[in-house]
DNA sequence: TCAGAATGGTGATGTTTATCACAGTTCACA
DNA sequence: TGTGAACTGTGATAAACATCACCATTCTGA
């Protein structure tokens, strides 16, 4: 490991002021692995900051299919889509992949605090704008170059969010099954498997002993989907 | 025409205070049909409110393909993705479909004004939150049910944004060519044409004399893509 | 340590969607 | 009012992707 991950959590992206505010007005709780922090349709009066653990944000379809949208870890803010909204229901599911320690922040309290401090507001709006930009670029990536584009985009985003630079490439420091990747791409496990094997044969990626993905030629992935010069803070998982 | 469109523009969604603020700090300009208000990569120091006209927001790919993201008319805010962001370049293209009258607002001036007035901040964050939710649901719709899902979602969104209720259905009061719809769905003109004709044969839609789309059975479209009970302010074009 | 579960891998086959090619129709405007 | 441009419609064919079926491999917990 030559260099630690360059991923910035939500809390790292926003200022220390906001961070300490969030921590000062919050309580904590612990949730077990393989349980939901919240589910679609539930009333949303709180939002959360992950102190420790791993949470998957997803959306379910009627047929039981699942689309993964984010994978969140320490420092990330979860549940943000309900802020300042009358419609107080979650649209998404938050599922704990590991045991988590969570800060709980009351939505109306945060709203109150934000409105009384314009510097915090500025930080928060900046963060929201960034989420908007990320989502815009995701729409393009998932839709414009078929499933291959969706996969390449997902790999690039994971690399930017959770990658560790190594001498022979960039390691996605996270255990990802074919099935999980498929859920980010809205593709089937089998298609993802075939495409990953193609990338292996071409030498673009490599699977490590701990079955993590090592990206040896990220430039190939980028040029294939035409995100050659897109800003690195946009091409991320959350 | 039994009932006027229920579409709310951005300005209608946000408060009168913000509306008048936006108008007070803006200058105006006029741009011709078939010209760009701004293009990807350009420096972004301003954002815009449409006073009159029609603007298409899109994203181009390297191969010259185009993905339509929004169609904006009177009252809509354009260029919002650059707010509160260091990255001062537009990610999208704004193309005038009709001659437009536009309010120009300096980005830093708006940021300053917003931060000095917490009620306006509240409104603005609420509006941004809503945009985020719309984008989330668009990702799902475009990706989860194939091109048919993308088409049905696009029709529903246009119906909600630009529809006029009539005795025999809901009329999308806008001239949409197959090619334009295709750009919203990231599909080909031919595929859209075939799918629309299938819907015609099934009696789900009907084309009026002015070649506008009349949706006779929106319930069918909704159930097919599983957005039967999604809030109407989320299933919109912008 | 061993049985069952989860995951990875791959062929065969069918469906969806794009591509190409071209003819018919409508529209804009000189 | 006629003519080129834009749009619609449709068949034939190819590529992308899903589905199904099945076996190999790895992981996991009693």
Q: In Å, how far from its chain's centre is CA A55? A: 9
pLDDT of residue A213: 97
Q: Is the pLDDT of residue A3 over 50?
A: no
Specify the pLDDT at position A88. Answer: 77
Per-residue pLDDT at B64: 80
Residue B6, pLDDT score: 56
Whole-number pLDDT of residue B192? 98
Question: Any chain A CB within 8 A of the CB of B108?
Answer: no
| Residues within 7 Å (Cβ) of strand C | A 177-179, 189-190, 193-194, 196-197, 207, 211; B 146-148, 186-188, 190-191, 211
B232 Cβ under 8 Å from any chain A Cβ: no
- Confidence band (pLDDT; 50, 70, 90) for A2? very low
Looking at residue A6, what is its pLDDT? 56
pLDDT of residue A13: 65
Q: How far is the C-alpha of A43 from the C-alpha of B147, rounded, in Å?
A: 32
Interval A162-187: pLDDT, tens: 999 999 999 999 999 999 999 999 99
What's the mean pLDDT in A13-35? 81
pLDDT at residue B14 in the model: 65
CB atoms within 10 A of CB A211: 9
Give the Å distances, CA to CA, from B234 to A85, A103, A237, B32: 12, 28, 22, 31
> Given a cut of 70, is residue A15 above it in pLDDT?
no
B13 min Cα distance to partner chain A (Å): 12
Residue B144: which of A67, A129, A144 has the nearest Cβ?
Answer: A67
> Mean pLDDT, chain A, as a whole number?
88
Residue B92's pLDDT is 93
Q: Is the CB of A146 under 7 A from strand D?
A: yes
Q: How far is CA A166 from the centre of its chain?
A: 22
pLDDT averages per 10-residue partition of chain B, 238 residues? 53 69 86 92 92 93 89 90 83 93 91 83 86 92 96 97 94 96 97 98 95 96 87 83
Q: Does A82 touch chain B (CB under 8 A)?
A: yes
Encode pLDDT of A100-125 as tens digits.
Answer: 999 999 988 888 888 888 888 888 88
* Cβ within 8 Å, pair B129-A83: yes
Q: Which of A14, A136, A148, A234 to mutate to test the interface with B (most CBs of B within 10 A)?
A: A136
Quick check: A83 contacting B, CB < 8 Å? yes
So what's the pLDDT on residue A4? 42
pLDDT at A130 over 80: yes
pLDDT of residue A131 exceeding 60, the answer is yes
Query: How do residues A210-234 score in pLDDT, each as one tens digit?
Result: 999 999 999 999 999 988 777 888 8
pLDDT at site B13: 65
Matching residue, tokens 């990802």: A176
A212 sits within 7 Å of strand D by its CB: no
Question: pLDDT at position B10, please?
Answer: 73
Between A52 and A4, the more confident residue is: A52
Q: Give me B20's structure tokens.
A: 């008048």
B125 touches chain A (CB under 8 A): yes
Q: A67-95, pLDDT tens digit by residue?
A: 999 999 888 899 877 777 776 788 899 99
Other CB atoms closer than 10 Å to residue A156's CB: what's the count?
A: 25
Residue A138's contacts (CB-CB under 8 Å, 6 or more residues apart) are A153, B139
Kindly list the distances between the CA atom of residue B10 and the CA atoms of A57, B121, B156, in Å, as whole numbers in the listed order: 28, 15, 19
Enter the tokens of residue A110. 């945060």
């Amino acid at each position: 490991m030559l260099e630690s991950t360059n991923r910035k959590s939500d809390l790292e992206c926003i200022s220390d002021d906001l961070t300490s505010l969030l921590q000062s007005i919050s309580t904590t709780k612990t949730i077990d692995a393989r349980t939901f922090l919240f589910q679609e349709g539930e009333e949303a009066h709180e939002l959360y900051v992950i102190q420790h653990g791993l949470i998957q944000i997803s959306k379910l379809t009627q047929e039981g299919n699942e689309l993964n949208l984010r994978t969140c870890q320490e420092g990330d803010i979860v549940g943000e889509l309900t802020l300042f909204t009358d419609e107080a229901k979650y649209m998404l599911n938050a599922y704990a992949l590991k045991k988590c320690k969570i800060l709980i922040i009351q939505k109306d309290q945060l709203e109150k605090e934000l409105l009384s401090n314009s510097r915090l507001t500025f930080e928060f709006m900046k963060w929201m704008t960034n989420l908007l930009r990320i989502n815009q670029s995701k729409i393009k990536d998932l839709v414009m170059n078929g499933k291959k584009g969706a996969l390449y985009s997902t790999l690039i985003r994971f690399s930017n969010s959770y990658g560790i630079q190594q001498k022979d490439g960039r390691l996605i420091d996270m255990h990802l099954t074919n099935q999980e990747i498929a859920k980010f791409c809205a593709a089937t496990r089998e298609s993802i498997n075939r495409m990953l094997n193609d990338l292996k044969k071409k030498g673009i990626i490599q699977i490590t002993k701990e079955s993590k993905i090592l990206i040896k030629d990220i430039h190939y992935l980028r040029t294939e989907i035409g995100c050659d010069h897109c800003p690195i803070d946009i091409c991320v998982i959350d």
